[in-house]
Structure 1
Amino acid sequence: MTPFTVPVEGLATDIRLPDGAGPFPAVLIRTPYDRRRHRAELRGWARRGFAALVQDVRGRHASPGEWHPYENEAADGAATARWIRRQPWSDGRLVATGASYAAHCSLVLALDAPTEARPDAVIAVVPALGPAETAREPSGVERLLARAGWWAAHGDRPDSDENALEKALAADPGLLTHLPLTGLPERLGRNLPSWPGLWRHRERGQLLSRAEHAGTPLLAVGGHHDHFTEDTVALWRRWGGPSARLLLGPWGHGLVAEPGPEAEPAHRVSLGELYVRWARRALAGDLAPGHRGAVGLGGSPLWVPADNEGEPRTQDIRLLHGSSFTADPERPVSSADLAVPTEGPPDRCLLVTPPLPRPLDVVGPAEVRLRATAHTPSADWAVRLVALTPEGVAQRLAVGVVRREEPPGREAEFTVRLGRLARRLPAGTRLRLEIAGHHFPAHARNPHTDDDPVTATRMVTSRREVDAGSVALRLPVLTSRPTPTGPAEEILR
């Protein structure tokens, strides 16, 4: 199991082989986040009989070349896969795995590489499907804070500074308020030529359309509190390979290392062990065909089958205040603060449900339907759903943002999708719904002028009216006691 480092097709690659003569199946991780971080992971795979490899992608850390996110991964991955299969210690079978951007590397290898270079199985963890998916919501609204943080830390440089944005915000708390947003690199004191180009990517779904023609088994893993939850589920649903498995828990982007406030001890899954067991079965062809999976129900110890979704039910909800409000880009509703101002002119429409008379299990997509008016040619409608526990604690449940462009003053009827929920809400919980014009800095501010929010240099206020009687909060409610299962039970069948 002695590790060694070699240039594979010119790219720095760490390799750890199991004890014994071999040959072995291989597992490949291609990452921009420094291959040295994966040494413990390599040891784990090797102890379980896999030749384990981790590679710095082109232009990052010890690999030469220029770093162009999302551009070279299929070709470089294919060259590496061919090299692996030529080695005397390889039995020809290959698992591609990775998290976040590294999951993208695995997916494009499986979907875009020539047939002889494609892996035999893919583990895609919190997958970053592509630049358009990471930079924008499905509605097109820009994910500012997450992308600014990633580009400040990793963009256009061979190494990383994980705290680059945090340090810049400490020096200038208003860093992300300065216009235009394309000027962010100058304010960071960094050369980031790829930053403006990121926002020109608008077409989502290209990788998902190719996923329908996949030919390998897939294990997709995500968290309810991750940026890419919807993409993880969509990847699983649309995967065309012989089998697809989904594992979704009450976690953030770091999965079990980043549990949500509603995570239970039963959600502390040994992910590494599960990945190995799934990989063995996938390579042996022992997985049942079709789509299966397990979803952790936050606020309870239960796991439920991934296809167990609730029926859409409209919840009773009443207006507290703010049927008319002003969306002011200079004083946007904060994405980080769940407190609601009680003084001054309203900056959002606020509604609340009565206390739940009994526990409510919600599993599946949630949405809000409403009629509303904006007095500007462009308007974002940010809807945040918050649980107010019987103890008085506010907990974020879901957020959705859509962009509408209509003649000023014309009422429109539309739906805001809030993403997926998997949560048990205890009796006595009230649900608070906030309808606002901004959700900043998580999302870029709409300038309300019909200009692109990324290049705009001027912003104006936007008067809004919400027809409170039209607001319909629809939650996916399980109408019977959920069927319990376990992650291993669903993932390994």
Structure 2
Amino acid sequence: MMRAIWRGLPDKRHEVGWEPGLVVPAADGSPLVTDHYFPRTAGDFPTLLVRSPYGRGLPWSPMYGMLFAEQGFHVVLQSCRGTGGSGGAFDLWRNEAADAQATVSWLRRQPWFDGTLGTIGPSYLGYVQWALALDPPPELKAMVVQVGLHDPYALFYSDGALRLENALLVGLGMTYQHQGTVPFARAALRLQRRLRDIVTARPLRGAYASALGEVPWLDDVMTHPDADDPHWDGASLARAAEHLSVPTSLITGRYDALVDQTFEQYARLRQAGCDTALLVGPWTHTSAMQQGWPEVFAESLAWLRAHLCGEPSGLRPTRVRVHLGGEDVWRDLDDWPPLSPATTSSTTSWVPTADGHLDRRTDAGATGGAGSADGPGPVDGQGFADGPDPAPLASLRYDPADPTPSIGGPLLSRTAGPRDNSVLEGRGDVLTFTGPPLAEPVDVLGPVSARLSVSTDTGYADVFTRLCDVDARGRSTNVCDGLARLETVGQAPSEVTVRMSSTAYRFPAGHRIRWQISAGAHPRYARNPGTGKSPVDAVDFTPIRMTLHTGSVLMLPHGSRPA
């Protein structure tokens, strides 16, 4: 069945056996229900640990239990506490390190465990891997983190703005998926039908209960927007990568909701000198594990065979492989970003004009700054070069009662990915600045950012900014984007830097580069009420007049094109 769905999977090496319903004692003795898949062949085989809050049935059983066992691995597929029949109460992120260590202790007592351990899995199944890596046991020899999570706060917030759609979909998955296909499908349909009422409720707090029921941890998430709040203490596992020596493969997609988290951990692993590999495909969070599964499985299997079985022949020759959007090609790179900012990297500045154009300027070069040879520009991450006071370029009116909608991008939902932005860009609350047709292709490889000089009439606003590719027919397709929260003093322009994620994208000759700016993207992000009140508790809304001023600049990192 799996080979009928996915073409290109390797032939199986072994028949598979199955021991369902094993009980592993957690750190506090709570029973963790566990299934064991194994090759029906005499001999020793390494073990893969897969810990999941989403149940042990579809798709985990065939994709991890069966496929990897038939390739020569013991696979231990375990339900996290409070899910899938396991005892205790599920508490997002707080028990994973201790429960993973308890599971390794149990493995040591199993007669089939040969002392060689790897971990694998996507999304929250990546989080539990980082939890084990905080204090990696000596048996842990390899990790494969697929579209993985390490920082729950960054999953739910961007600069203090609630990622509303993420919060609802994570609440759906964590609450219902481990209950089985039918309960999950019913809850998903219920959320879909009631989504509009939920995301437009005043106040927003608790509105999700009509579809999801009471979810205490989700209410905690939605009411703690400050990253420094003690609620988030210990949630981020970024530190697990800072001193790790376990060979680690990272897999993501350009439109994965967790793509930035993958790039961040890759940088930490490289800084630590850890053996690591990075694969970036043309995928979203879900499509990586669906349409992209043959590539993801091949990459994962090669890494595990190399580091657990001593079979390195399947590894690719370069550390990094990325899919270059725009022309649908793959590139093998020595590192990511492909060129070090301290050496020969370059950043091109694109400056908006009052007539809606986007002018290209040559950058300063080695520092990665966005200054230009033909006029003043930003000189660092904190402010703008000395010069005339910023002058207004364009303005928009954002009405929280009729919020700018979100279209495509790095989401958890099926609407994620590249989408036609033409209708969105026709709204009065969206600004666009468009460059001329390109005489030759332009490759953008690495982190994209924008520095904006912005004023508002209320003092409170969000700034959503997006890079788009406009083809010869005028279709505008989103490449990457970001959002920042803005508070201004009076009506004087304020400076804000927006990180717009990283990308690998080729703008073909004849296409145009577009910079899109708005004051929100709903329901991807909760509406800014324009009053300074919490978006979760706000009942009253105030429309916002936001003005973009001169001195604003879009910064695109360059990568050299292949010969």
SS in 2 for 1:7: strand
Q: 1:146 aligns with which of 156, 161, 166?
A: 166
Encode CA deviations 1:131-185: one digit per residue, 9 max, x unaligned.
2121112x23211112112213423896262563553342463320112222223
Aligned length: 469
Give the deviation of 1:394 after TM superposition.
2.2
For 1:386, give the aligned amino acid: C
| Alpha carbons 2:37, 2:74 under 8 Å: kept | yes
Aligned counterparts of 2:273 and 2:130: Cα–Cα separation in 1 = 12
Is 2:461 the partner of 1:379? yes
Match of 1:277 in 2: 302
Aligned counterparts of 2:468 and 2:481: Cα–Cα separation in 1 = 9
Aligned counterparts of 2:513 and 2:290: Cα–Cα separation in 1 = 24
Aligned counterparts of 1:107 and 1:268: Cα–Cα separation in 2 = 22
Is 2:249 the partner of 1:229? no
For 2:442, give the aligned amino acid: L
SS in 1 for 2:255: coil
Encode CA deviations 1:379-418: one digit per residue, 9 max, x unaligned.
1111122211113322111111001222131211222121
Is 2:282 the partner of 1:250? yes
Aligned counterparts of 1:155 and 1:454: Cα–Cα separation in 2 = 21
Q: 1:68 aligns with which of 91, 94, 97?
A: 91
| Alpha carbons 2:256, 2:283 under 8 Å: kept | yes
| Alpha carbons 1:180, 1:454 under 8 Å: kept | yes
Aligned counterparts of 2:119 and 2:125: Cα–Cα separation in 1 = 9
Match of 1:472 in 2: 553
Aligned counterparts of 2:239 and 2:93: Cα–Cα separation in 1 = 17
Is 2:349 the partner of 1:314? yes
For 1:243, give the aligned amino acid: D
Give the deviation of 1:274 after TM superposition.
2.5
Give the deviation of 1:30 after TM superposition.
0.5
Is 2:331 the partner of 1:293? no
SS in 1 for 2:57: helix
Aligned counterparts of 2:554 and 2:303: Cα–Cα separation in 1 = 38
| Alpha carbons 2:176, 2:184 under 8 Å: kept | no
Aligned counterparts of 1:439 and 1:153: Cα–Cα separation in 2 = 23
| Alpha carbons 2:130, 2:240 under 8 Å: kept | no
For 1:410, give the aligned amino acid: A
Is 2:210 the partner of 1:187? yes
Is 2:422 the partner of 1:339? yes
Give the deviation of 1:268 after TM superposition.
7.9
Give the deviation of 1:460 after TM superposition.
1.0
SS in 2 for 1:455: coil
| Alpha carbons 2:49, 2:117 under 8 Å: kept | yes
Give the deviation of 1:253 after TM superposition.
0.7
Q: TM-score, normalised by structure 1?
A: 0.87
Is 2:321 the partner of 1:304? no
Q: Which moved more, 1:23-32 or 1:429-438?
A: 429-438
Structure-to-structure mapping, 1:394-413, within 5 angstroms: 394-413=476-495
Match of 2:132 in 1: 109
CA separation of 1:231 and 1:473: change in aligned 2, threshold 3 A: same
For 1:64, give the aligned amino acid: G
Structure 1's unaligned 5+ residue stretches are 260-266, 484-493
Give the deviation of 1:92 after TM superposition.
0.6
For 1:300, give the aligned amino acid: D
Aligned counterparts of 2:18 and 2:352: Cα–Cα separation in 1 = 60
| Alpha carbons 2:167, 2:218 under 8 Å: kept | no
Aligned counterparts of 2:310 and 2:273: Cα–Cα separation in 1 = 12
Aligned counterparts of 2:99 and 2:255: Cα–Cα separation in 1 = 32
SS in 2 for 1:332: coil
CA separation of 1:386 and 1:465: change in aligned 2, threshold 3 A: same
Give the aligned CA root-mean-square deviation in angstroms: 2.7
Match of 2:360 in 1: none
SS in 2 for 1:273: helix
Match of 1:218 in 2: 248
Aligned counterparts of 1:22 and 1:255: Cα–Cα separation in 2 = 36
| Alpha carbons 1:251, 1:258 under 8 Å: kept | no
Aligned counterparts of 1:245 and 1:295: Cα–Cα separation in 2 = 11
Structure 2's unaligned 5+ residue stretches are 1-15, 26-30, 340-344, 357-392, 409-420
Encode CA deviations 1:433-473: one digit per residue, 9 max, x unaligned.
22111111111111121122222232211111111x32322
Q: TM-score, normalised by structure 2?
A: 0.77
Match of 1:488 in 2: none
Aligned counterparts of 1:140 and 1:149: Cα–Cα separation in 2 = 19
| Alpha carbons 1:28, 1:96 under 8 Å: kept | yes
Match of 1:49 in 2: 72
Is 2:23 the partner of 1:7? yes
Give the deviation of 1:207 after TM superposition.
1.4
For 1:149, give the aligned amino acid: L
Encode CA deviations 1:73-102: one digit per residue, 9 max, x unaligned.
111111111111221111111101110011
Q: 2:187 aligns with which of 144, 147, 164?
A: 164
Match of 2:416 in 1: none
Aligned counterparts of 2:55 and 2:281: Cα–Cα separation in 1 = 26
